[in-house]
């Protein structure tokens, strides 16, 4: 969209934002500090408040009436279009459909107030891929991305007659609502089936299928009396941890994978942001060198998530993750399933610590109690689904649990995602190219 909105119906016009709306924003709030935030008062919207389908007026900070009245042009009205102009969320946009309480915006958001154009139509145009591309091409700054008001004012806008604007906005409202409802239903279905899968995996690992005398374990529950239940330190040769002290000093442009917690998914290894280590350094760091059949377990971020080391990672190394060396008492896939099941998660939950970033240590894991049936039974448990298949029938490796079903998110994940993201996703579920019309 470098030269405009592209091919349009002949009866449409082409204009720009400042000819159909006012644009207001400010840099900072006259030395406003966090110490001035109040428990109640006037809502002070930030980018997270405008990311959803509807603007969130509840989870907000509050400022005083004096601060609120400093900038009347930023006092939110119904029909205003709010646009993030700073940072990696640049381009996030939403329209104010109701104002449940007096509110204003912080310095990262511009307020576009319609002067004749349908506000919903304007919002959809700005959310479109064409306009998003235009804004990101016009952005300034390297470390802190920024879109100046002058650039916002110049954004090209296709302008159909009023009745077509209303029809297009009505259509997109209906379609985004329909798609959002479908997504919500899918999430609920996945969540329900994920819970069923967790129950199934737990029952398999507790030998619920096995007939005979059973024993009650305080953490593992009801299990066959014939099974050994032993601490992991008695079932595996060694439990260690990857490089903890300055692991980045070993990063190399090429070589063997140097795994971190972000590479470990539930039942698989993902190299999307992998680092590498030279073969020479990996051999020197022998205590953290990986072999086929070892089980690697996340120590911090998603503590407890586990995966078996496959053949292609033989000789690789790792940083700050737990390494459980392959032995002859536990099949690797069985041990992986144990950690990823409610049984292993119960132990992780009982020992994890840390506010900013939850974690577990070797000293905790060595004492985790693990059922140890015969190797034949372990094979049967794995074959019957303890490793798991997701709710759409796809292999579990690479899949993260649905929201609310896994340990807390890795705090660095959002920063990594923002750095990798080239353009932001519009806030609407449906992100069409700039509306071009079909003659009604």
Q: What is the mean pLDDT of residues 55-76?
A: 94
Split into its structural domains, the chain has a count of 2
My answer on whether 264 and 386 are in the same domain is yes
Sole residue written with tokens 């490089």:
243
Closest of 249, 202, 172, 193 to residue 429, by C-alpha: 172
User: Torsion angle, CA of 110/115/116/119, rounded to 10 degrees?
Assistant: 20
My answer on whether 207 and 150 are in the same domain is no
Residue 439 lies in a domain: no
Residue 427 lies in a domain: no
- What gap in Å lies between CA 253 and CA 314, rounded to an integer? 19
Residue 85 lies in a domain: yes
* Percentage of the chain modeled with pLDDT above 90: 65
C-beta of residue 326 within 8 angstroms of C-beta of residue 239? no
My answer on whether 140 and 199 are in the same domain is no
My answer on whether 240 and 385 are in the same domain is yes
Q: Can you give the residue range of the structural domain that contains 391?
A: 192-419
* CATH classification of the domain holding 131: 3.90.220.20
SS3 54: coil
Residue 363 lies in a domain: yes
SS3 123: helix
Residue 433 lies in a domain: no
Residue 426 lies in a domain: no
* Percentage of the chain modeled with pLDDT above 70: 84
Residue 170 lies in a domain: no
My answer on whether 223 and 283 are in the same domain is yes
For residue 120, give both structure tokens: 């919903």
My answer on whether 226 and 300 are in the same domain is yes
pLDDT single digits (tens) 239-274:
999 999 999 999 999 999 999 999 999 889 998 888
My answer on whether 134 and 216 are in the same domain is no
Where is the domain boundary, 160, 176, 210? Answer: 160
My answer on whether 198 and 332 are in the same domain is yes
Residue 184 lies in a domain: no
My answer on whether 256 and 318 are in the same domain is yes
**DSSP E strands: which ranges in 225-292?**
228-231, 239-241, 256-259, 264-265, 268-269, 275-277
The stretches of 236-331 forming alpha helices (DSSP H) are 279-284
pLDDT single digits (tens) 173-207:
999 999 999 999 999 998 888 888 888 888 889 99
The region of weakest confidence among 17-26, 143-152, 194-203, 411-420 is 411-420
My answer on whether 152 and 200 are in the same domain is no
My answer on whether 274 and 385 are in the same domain is yes
pLDDT single digits (tens) 107-141:
999 999 999 999 999 999 999 999 999 998 888 75
pTM here is 0.58
**Average pLDDT of the chain, as a whole number:** 85
Strand partners, 63: 42
My answer on whether 414 and 274 are in the same domain is yes
């Amino acid at each position: 969209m470098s030269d405009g909105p592209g091919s349009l119906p002949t009866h449409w016009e082409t204009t720009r934002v400042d000819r159909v709306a006012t644009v207001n924003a400010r840099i900072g709030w006259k030395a406003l500090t966090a110490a001035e935030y109040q428990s109640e008062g006037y809502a002070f919207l930030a980018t997270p408040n405008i990311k959803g389908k509807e603007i969130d007026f509840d989870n907000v900070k509050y400022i005083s009436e004096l601060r609120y009245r400093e900038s009347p042009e930023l006092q939110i009205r119904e029909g205003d279009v709010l646009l993030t102009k700073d940072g990696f969320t640049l381009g996030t946009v939403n329209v104010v459909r109701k104002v449940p309480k007096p509110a204003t915006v912080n310095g990262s958001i511009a307020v576009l107030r319609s002067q004749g154009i349908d506000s919903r139509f304007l919002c959809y145009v700005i959310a479109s891929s064409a306009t998003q591309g235009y804004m990101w091409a016009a952005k300034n700054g390297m470390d802190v991305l920024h879109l100046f008001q002058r650039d916002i004012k110049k954004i090209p806008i296709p302008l159909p007659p009023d009745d077509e604007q209303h029809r297009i906005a009505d259509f997109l409202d209906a379609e985004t609502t329909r798609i959002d409802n479908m997504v919500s239903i899918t999430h609920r279905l996945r969540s329900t089936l994920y819970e069923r899968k967790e129950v199934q995996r737990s029952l398999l690992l507790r030998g619920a299928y096995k007939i005979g005398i059973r024993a009650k374990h305080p953490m593992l529950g009801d299990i066959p009396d014939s099974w050994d239940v032993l601490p992991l330190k008695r079932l595996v040769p060694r439990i260690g941890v990857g490089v903890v002290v300055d692991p980045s000093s070993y990063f190399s442009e090429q070589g063997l994978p140097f795994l971190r917690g972000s590479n470990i998914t539930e039942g698989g290894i993902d190299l999307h942001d992998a680092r590498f280590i030279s073969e020479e350094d990996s051999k020197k760091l022998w205590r953290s060198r990986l072999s086929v059949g070892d089980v690697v377990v996340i120590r911090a971020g998603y503590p407890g998530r586990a995966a078996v080391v496959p053949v292609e990672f033989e000789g690789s190394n790792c940083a700050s993750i737990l390494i459980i060396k392959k032995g002859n008492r536990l099949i690797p896939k069985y041990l992986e399933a144990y950690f990823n099941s409610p049984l292993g998660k119960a132990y992780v939950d009982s020992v994890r610590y840390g506010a900013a970033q939850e974690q577990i240590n070797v000293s905790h894991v060595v004492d985790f109690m693990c059922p140890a049936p015969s190797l034949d039974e372990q094979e049967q448990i794995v074959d019957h689904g303890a490793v798991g298949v997701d709710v759409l029938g796809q292999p579990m490796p690479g899949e993260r649990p649905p929201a609310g079903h896994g340990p807390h998110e890795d705090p660095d994940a959002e920063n990594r995602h923002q750095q990798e993201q080239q353009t932001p996703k519009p806030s609407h579920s449906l992100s069409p190219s700039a509306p071009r019309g079909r003659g009604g």
